[in-house]
Amino acid sequence: MEKRILIFTATYNEIDNINTFLDNIEKLKIKLDILIIDDNSPDKTWETVEKYSSLNKNIFLIKRKKKEGLDTAHKLAFKFAREKKYNYLITMDADLSHNPEVIPKFIKNLKNNPFVIGSRYIKHGKNKTNFYRFLLSYFGNKFIKFVLKINCSEFTTSYRGFNLDILKKLDIKDVKARGYSFFMETIFLIHKNGYFIKEIPIIFEDRTKGSSKIPKTEMLRTLKNLFYLKFKNKNDK
């Protein structure tokens, strides 16, 4: 039986990237659907998505009234995928930092794995960004791995795949972290529920258009959430 696949991305002011993002996925010639959740982008990214959606039955848009955050968008996408009976959910960024050509590798690996994450820090993976961001990301992920004692090299990317047929015990609503810390806690929850984490190499390309949405306070929030998870896990044992 053919698997139903949903690609999801969250957008906020991605007018310079959204056309290329959608075109690149369509070029794959794979039968899949695309869900975009837009937080009422002031640059009207959602208008472009509406035009694509009107011409392509496999592209869906959820436009929210205000900026509600990355974590809530991912939770909504997870809910959408379950309700619409998709087998696989693959999430990624819309700023072209994640190459859609890796999507077939996600699909292949999801056949026998509950969760697949694209990693910059395993063999053949690369992080093509400026030196400061590279160091911050590389050692940040190393530190998270050390603290949480989870055998995974990548905690902070959104390029990941979920086999919804296997992940029966995973309830994404249980993730409490806000912002980008959401990605770290999701892996913690997957690991805690006993699911295997499969890593595949990706090459991360820094965005060339638009501006980053990562707030300056994100590092502090991640550290706070990291130690919350550490002590929560200790108390639960």
pLDDT tens profile 195-204 = 999 999 999 9
Mean pLDDT of the chain: 93
* Mean pLDDT in residue range 213-223: 75
Range of weakest confidence among 79-83, 90-94, 176-180: 176-180
Percent of the chain topping pLDDT 70: 95
* Mean pLDDT in residue range 116-126: 97
* Mean pLDDT in residue range 140-155: 95
* Predicted pLDDT at 22: 97
Q: How far apart are CA 58 and CA 55, in angstroms?
A: 9
Terminus-to-terminus CA distance in the chain, angstroms? 40
Measured CA distances, 25 to 101, 159, 176, 192, 235 (Å): 8, 14, 31, 33, 44
Does domain 5-236 match CATH 3.90.550.10?
yes
* Mean pLDDT in residue range 64-74: 95
